[in-house]
Amino acid sequence: MKTAASAVLATALLLAGAASADERHFGYDADSDASKHRTQNIELWIQQGLFGNVRVTHLYRNRGDGFDLKAVMPPWSDKALTAALEGDPRGISFYAIDPAEGEGFARGACHGAAKAWLAMSPPKAYQPLRIVVLGDDPAAHAPVVCELLDYRWRGEWLLPVKKNDSRAQEHGVEKKF
Q: Parse the chain into domains and list their residue ranges.
A: 21-152
Residue 108 confidence (pLDDT): 93
Cβ atoms of residues 133 and 110 within 8 Å: yes
In this predicted model, what pLDDT tens digit does every residue of 146-157 receive, in sequence order? 999 999 999 998
3-state secondary structure of 49: coil
With a cut of 50, say whether residue 104 has pLDDT above it. Answer: yes
* Distance of alpha carbon 131 from alpha carbon 92, whole angstroms: 10
The 10s digit of each residue's pLDDT in 113-143 is 889 999 999 999 999 999 999 999 988 889 9
Query: pTM for the whole thing?
Result: 0.77
Q: Which of these, 66, 135, 41, 92, lies nearest to 57 by C-alpha position?
A: 66
pLDDT over 90, % of the chain = 62
Please provide residue 118's backbone torsions phi and psi, each rounded to the nearest 5 degrees: -110, 140
For the residues of 50-88, what is the DSSP string, one character each?
TTS-EEEEEEEESSS--EEEEE---SS-HHHHHHHHTS-
Whether residue 18 has pLDDT greater than 60? no
Q: How many other CB atoms sit within 10 Å of the CB of residue 53?
A: 13
Q: Given pLDDT bands bounded at 50, 70 and 90, which one contains residue 51?
A: confident
